Structure 1
Amino acid sequence: MPEAPSTPRVALPAPAPRVASNTAIAVQFTLAGVVWGSSFLFMKVALTGLAPAQVVWSRLVLGALALGLFVAIRREALPRSLRVWGHMTVLAVTFCVVPFLLFSWAQQYVTSGLASIYNATTPIMTAIMAALVLRVEKLGLGQIAGIALGIVGVVVIIAPWQGLDLSQSLVAQFAILGATACYGFSLAYMRRFVSDTGMSAVMFSFLNIGIAAAIMLVASPALILTPVELDPWIVASVVLLGCLGTGVAYIWNQNVVRAWGPTRASTITYLTPVVGVALGILILGEHLTWNEPVGALVVFLGILLAQNRLRRQRG
């Protein structure tokens, strides 16, 4: 960093620019949390007229178009390294295509609020994948306890004491956990293989979503050539899910990660379920049973332990 001028009159910078910058990041953090929390509502509405694969196809293509517009405006050049393209293709599959398909299929059988609650298990999955699969970090006793507590929280949400009839709802819940496991693998994969590429937040998001959209376009004959039923609500939900939830919100989140760091930025996990549950109740008339918020609170406590936050707060 350049040295500060020695003149006393200018040695102390005015705080206004810094406050504005922090405020802008906080606004992006909040907007990303609201948009991602709303995504479960958008998916639920879109599924009333589209098949799950059609929802994923639409959100990825629209997200890629939105992000491509930002790249064109900024006139950023695509990376030339085949290594980068290879790693980004892996991320396109594991961070977008597979989990998006699992979420869209599962939301045919579970409420949008419950899907948003299960989405909060992503940090627990990330800790597991980072330590046991990709070995980018080691687990301490506190982190192991956090993972175990998170698993207990998931069991509370599933509520096995009510009886497990292996209905589509239960299978759908495990499908969502499979999707969050994909997210956890992808986040650990990013840390190990693409943390030093030098790409901007816009370019990183564009490659991630753009490659996933290209995969869906290639698979179009097998995935989306089925009848659709459209109305203004379905169209609006798909556009918002694609352009905002799979487009602009990714840039906002990348900016937050780079400004606040991954640990602080990951607190968006606590915001999205609140938004998702609230919208499901207020707009879709969904009902919440006692075990779902209780299980979510147990999962959140597990996240705090898995990320060593409780120890830092005591310190």
Structure 2
Amino acid sequence: MKNNAYIVFCLLALAWGLTFLFNKTASTLISPMQIVMIRVIMGFLPVLVFAIARKSLHWQHLRYLHHFVIMSLLAATVYYFAFAKGISLLPSSVAGMLSGAIPMFSFIAAAIFLRSEPVNMRSVTGLLFGFAGVLVIAKPWNTGVSGIDLTGVLYVAIGSGCVGLSFVYVRKFLSPLGISPIALCTYQLGLASATLLVITDFNGIGAIFTDWKIATGLFAGLGLLGTGFAFMCYYYLIGKLGAVKTAGVTYIPPVIGLLTGSLILGESVSAIDILATAMILSGVFIIQSGRTPAPVLPTPSASPDVRAHNLPERA
């Protein structure tokens, strides 16, 4: 069973890592908002089936609808759109490298809003080291034609900030309720799907079907696998390997994003970019090793699944 868990671990890392490639190729045909709508709906369907099979959904959960709406914005609609927009403006390899900073935004949000997340010198050092890597990738001092689009970097930062804040929101307001994480995920993606169906401009969306490879990457790769399948793998790993080991999967997608952008899309990656990625991931490692684990609330359903919401999520 442990060997099966590590196979799932590798599949999850691959599914999350390939999202940058699928986002980038889809952006050549349709708008970022259309990409997000398709991704969320295709991800929602398998999660809904899984939640129904597990009998995780209950009518009494509707009393917390306001929390689910906020989570659908922070951890789905705004988060996915910001990343899709950023990836459309940046090389996918650069977006993948920058995504390694997500846990740093989570740490900042936790330090501001949670008293259980004390700030120490080790964590601050890791934070500064990681953001130095972000600056090296973004190169704000390079304003020439060959420079990185800072608007794209800003969008990725906004997406990272949203998902970082969502972890804190879950821990502060939803974890004490003892609602199954797969139920929370279902409500989150369901509400996001409804929102996106209303606000998305469908004009030109049919262009995605002019290239079956790109369409398959979006519907199957980004939606079914990168969103729906990834969520279910994530919760499976929490139960089999625990929170700490599962957190290690977040170090791999930036590397996959870099490799797919370079090897498949032909994007140029320099030695400095690789060094900067190593700086970001090293900063995240230093932050994590310097954190004091938050106490688990003594609720009947304070299972590893509930504690999983404190871990980073990928794009």
TM-score (norm. length: structure 1): 0.84
Equivalent residues in 2 for 1:1-315 (5 A)? 20=1, 22-163=2-143, 169-220=149-200, 223-229=201-207, 230=209, 231-239=211-219, 240-308=221-289
Query: Deviation of residue 97 (structure 1)?
Result: 0.6
Query: Deviation of residue 167 (structure 1)?
Result: 7.3
Q: Is the 8 A contact 1:159 1:291 kept in 2?
A: no
1:218 and 1:310, CA in 2 relative to 1: closer, same or farther beyond 3 A?
closer
The gaps in structure 1 that reach 5 residues or longer are 1-19
Q: Indicate the SS of the match to 1:199.
A: coil
Residue identity in the other structure for 1:228: G
Q: Return the alpha-carbon distance in structure 2 between the equivalents of residues 135 and 95 of structure 1.
A: 22
The C-alpha deviation readout for 1:110-152, integer Å capped at 9, x for no partner, is 1111111111101111110001145441111111111111111
Q: Return the alpha-carbon distance in structure 2 between the equivalents of residues 139 and 28 of structure 1.
A: 33
Q: Return the alpha-carbon distance in structure 2 between the equivalents of residues 270 and 219 of structure 1.
A: 33
Moved more, 174-183 or 130-139: 130-139
Q: Return the alpha-carbon distance in structure 2 between the equivalents of residues 311 and 248 of structure 1.
A: 31
The gaps in structure 2 that reach 5 residues or longer are 294-315
1:310 and 1:224, CA in 2 relative to 1: closer, same or farther beyond 3 A?
same
1:165 and 1:262, CA in 2 relative to 1: closer, same or farther beyond 3 A?
farther
1:80 and 1:155, CA in 2 relative to 1: closer, same or farther beyond 3 A?
same
1:194 and 1:228, CA in 2 relative to 1: closer, same or farther beyond 3 A?
same
The C-alpha deviation readout for 1:30-80, integer Å capped at 9, x for no partner, is 111100100111111111211111000100111111211222333433351
Q: Return the alpha-carbon distance in structure 1 between the equivalents of residues 148 and 33 of structure 2.
A: 18
Moved more, 232-241 or 121-130: 232-241
Q: Return the alpha-carbon distance in structure 2 between the equivalents of residues 199 and 25 of structure 1.
A: 24
Q: Return the alpha-carbon distance in structure 1 between the equivalents of residues 283 and 40 of structure 2.
A: 32
Task: Indicate the structure (1 or 2) with the bigger Cα radius of gyration.
Answer: 1
Q: Indicate the SS of the match to 1:196.
A: helix
Q: Return the alpha-carbon distance in structure 2 between the equivalents of residues 192 and 311 of structure 1.
A: 17
Aligned length: 290
- Identity fraction in percent: 27
RMSD: 2.4
Q: Return the alpha-carbon distance in structure 2 between the equivalents of residues 198 and 23 of structure 1.
A: 30
Q: Return the alpha-carbon distance in structure 1 between the equivalents of residues 281 and 174 of structure 2.
A: 28
1:310 and 1:92, CA in 2 relative to 1: closer, same or farther beyond 3 A?
closer
